[in-house]
C-alpha cells in the first residue's frame, strides 16, 4: 500500500469524515498517530468548517484532510473555504463534485472523491482526481449498492489512479485483503467509533459494543440515499414508512437531525450509523491502540503469507 507516501502520512489509513463526529480535535489526534485525520463538513456550516481548519493547525503539524459533502446546503461557500484556507487534501462525497473540481485542482488541492461504481470512478479520474475512495455497501452511513471486496478489483482495474478501500475494514486481515485486491490504502470510520476519544455519547458506544453481527439495517432505499444503521425504533419506523404508508413527509421529519440525536445519546430515535462489521466492535480502546494494532495485525498477516 502506498497512499501513505502520496499523502505524506505514516500509515496508509484515512479516517472517515463522520458527520457530527469528525471534529478538528478528533482529526488532529488521528493525524498525530500517523493516519490521515479528516474534519467533517456533514452537519456543519462552511464557517464552522473554516474554524475547524484553523483549529486543527494549532493542534498538529501533520497532514489532515477535509471531507466535503456536496449535499451540504452551504456547499458553494464550503467549496471556497477549502481554497481560501489552503487545504491540501479533500475527500468529496454525497453528490457530484464536477462543478467544483477544476477550481479545487487549480488551487493545488488533491481531490479524492468517494465513489460507488466504475462509471463514477472513471468520471472523476477524467476530471483530475488524485485518487478515489471506493466505499462499498458494508459501510456505515450513506452507502452505494455494490459490495466492497467483490467490486474493489474491478474499480482498481478501471482507473489509473490510486484506489482506497472503504466499507468493511476493521482489522489487519481486511486491510491485507484490500491490498491483495489492489487498494493503495484504506479508509476506516466505524472501527473508530468505539475509541475513548471519539466524541459520541457513551450510550452510542454501548449500543455498538452490545450489537450482534446481524444488527445493522439499511434505511432510505426508496429515497435513493440509503443509510446503514443499527436496528432501533427509528430504523423500524423509517422502514415501515418505506414499505407501507409511503408518507415521505413523515419519513424526512423523522430522519432529519437523527444522526445528531444519536451522537448526543438518543439510541431509540437517533440514527446509530455503523457498518456491517459491528461484530468487531467489542470494547472501548484508545485511538492509539486501535490504529497501531490495526497496522501490527496487517503486517503480521503479510508476514504469515510471506509478503514483503
pLDDT digits (tens, 9 = 90+) for 233-267: 999 999 999 888 778 888 899 988 899 999 999 99
> Angle at the Cα of 176 (from 281 to 145), degrees rounded to 5?
65
Dist. CA 276–CA 231, nearest whole Å: 12
Can you give the pTM of this predicted structure? Answer: 0.93
For 195-221, what is the mean pLDDT? 94
Phi first, then psi: give them for residue 109, nearest 5 degrees: -85, 135
pLDDT digit string, tens, across residues 4-24 = 888 999 999 999 999 889 999
Q: What per-residue confidence (pLDDT) applies to 307?
A: 66
Q: Is pLDDT of 308 > 70?
A: no
Dist. CA 82–CA 70, nearest whole Å: 13
Cβ-proximal residues to 249 (8 Å cutoff; 6+ apart), any chain:
none
User: Could you tell me which of 232, 282, 194, 163 has the C-alpha nearest to residue 18?
Assistant: 194
For 203-226, what is the mean pLDDT? 91
Dist. CA 281–CA 195, nearest whole Å: 10
Domains along the chain with CATH numbers: 3-197+286-304 (3.20.20.70), 202-278 (no CATH)
Cβ-proximal residues to 124 (8 Å cutoff; 6+ apart), any chain:
97, 101, 111, 113, 115, 132
> Angle at the Cα of 114 (from 81 to 209), degrees rounded to 5?
100
pLDDT digit string, tens, across residues 26-80 = 999 999 999 999 999 887 889 999 999 999 999 999 999 999 999 888 899 999 9
CB 159 within 8 A of CB 132: yes
Q: In what order do the strands lie in the sheet with 141-142?
A: 141-142, 227-230, 216-219
Q: Is pLDDT of 186 > 90?
A: yes
> Angle at the Cα of 85 (from 264 to 260), degrees rounded to 5?
10
Dist. CA 288–CA 13, nearest whole Å: 13
Dist. CA 196–CA 202, nearest whole Å: 10
Average predicted confidence (pLDDT) for the chain: 93
CB 86 within 8 A of CB 105: no
CB 301 within 8 A of CB 174: no
Amino acid at each position: 500500500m502506498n497512499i501513505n507516501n502520496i499523502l505524506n502520512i505514516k500509515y496508509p489509513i484515512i479516517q472517515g469524515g463522520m458527520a457530527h463526529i469528525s471534529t478538528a480535535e478528533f482529526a488532529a489526534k488521528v493525524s498525530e498517530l500517523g493516519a490521515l485525520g479528516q474534519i467533517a463538513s456533514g452537519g456543519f456550516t462552511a464557517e464552522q468548517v473554516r474554524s475547524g481548519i484553523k483549529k486543527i493547525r494549532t493542534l498538529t503539524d501533520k497532514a489532515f484532510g477535509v471531507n466535503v459533502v456536496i449535499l451540504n446546503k452551504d456547499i458553494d461557500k464550503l467549496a471556497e473555504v477549502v481554497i481560501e484556507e489552503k487545504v491540501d487534501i479533500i475527500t468529496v462525497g454525497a453528490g457530484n463534485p464536477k462543478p467544483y473540481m477544476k477550481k479545487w485542482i487549480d488551487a493545488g488541492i488533491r481531490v479524492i472523491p468517494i465513489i460507488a461504481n466504475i462509471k463514477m470512478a472513471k468520471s472523476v479520474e477524467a476530471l483530475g482526481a488524485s485518487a478515489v475512495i471506493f466505499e462499498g455497501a458494508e459501510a456505515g452511513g450513506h452507502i452505494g449498492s455494490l459490495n466492497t471486496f467483490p467490486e474493489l478489483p474491478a474499480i482498481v482495474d478501471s482507473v489509473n489512479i490510486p484506489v482506497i478501500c472503504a466499507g468493511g475494514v476493521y482489522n489487519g486481515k481486511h486491510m491485507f485483503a484490500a491490498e491483495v485486491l489492489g487498494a493503495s490504502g484504506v479508509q476506516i470510520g466505524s472501527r473508530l467509533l468505539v475509541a475513548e476519544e471519539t466524541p459520541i455519547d457513551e450510550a452510542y458506544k454501548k449500543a455498538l459494543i452490545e450489537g450482534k453481527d446481524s444488527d445493522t439495517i439499511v434505511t432510505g432505499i426508496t429515497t435513493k440515499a440509503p443509510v446503514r444503521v443499527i436496528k432501533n425504533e427509528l430504523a423500524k419506523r423509517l422502514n415501515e414508512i418505506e414499505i407501507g404508508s409511503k408518507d415521505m413527509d413523515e419519513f424526512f421529519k423523522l430522519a432529519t437531525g437523527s444522526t445528531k440525536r444519536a451522537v448526543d445519546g438518543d439510541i431509540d430515535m437517533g440514527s446509530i450509523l455503523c457498518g456491517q462489521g459491528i461484530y468487531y466492535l467489542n470494547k472501548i480502546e484508545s485511538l492509539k491502540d486501535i490504529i497501531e494494532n490495526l497496522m501490527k495485525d496487517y503486517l503480521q498477516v503479510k508476514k504469515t503469507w510471506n509478503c514483503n
